[in-house]
Amino acid sequence: MKIIIKNFIFYSFVGVHDEEKSLGQRFIASLKIDYDYINDDNISNALNYSSVCKDVNNIGLNSKFNLIETLTLHIADEFLKKYKIINKISVEIKKPHAPMNHSFDYVSSKIKRKQNYL
């Protein structure tokens, strides 16, 4: 089974500049999660996507990294540790307000991990 969460908005304090570290900013997460689903319609045997969003939000609020690459890796690794039911995860973190003097939609970092990676 695959759960897809696309463009979940959360807040974090990731960046190189002092303002990014102290004030924080919006980030956007997209996750694709492959997991073993038991077909019994019981939520306790499924991956609760509300909990997934809550976890992304908590990781974002409690993370202080220089790079979105580190945040992306951290989210993927934390999910593989917490949810043993996950086989594979793909995490993309978008930073729409990166402080650059250029016009762009966003910059992003993306990683794919498997459960046996850790």
Residue 40: per-residue pLDDT? 87
Residue 117: per-residue pLDDT? 64
pLDDT in tens, 13-37: 999 988 888 899 999 999 999 998 8
Fold of domain 2-45+53-99: GTP Cyclohydrolase I, domain 2 (3.30.1130)
Residue boundaries of the structural domains of the chain: 2-45+53-99
How many CA atoms, within 13 angstroms, populate the side-chain half-sphere of residue 71?
A: 31
- Diameter of the chain by CA atoms? 52
- b/e per residue 10-22 (b: at least 16 CB within 10 A): bebbbbeeeebee
pLDDT in tens, 64-106: 999 999 999 999 999 999 999 999 999 999 999 888 788 888 8
Average pLDDT, the chain: 92
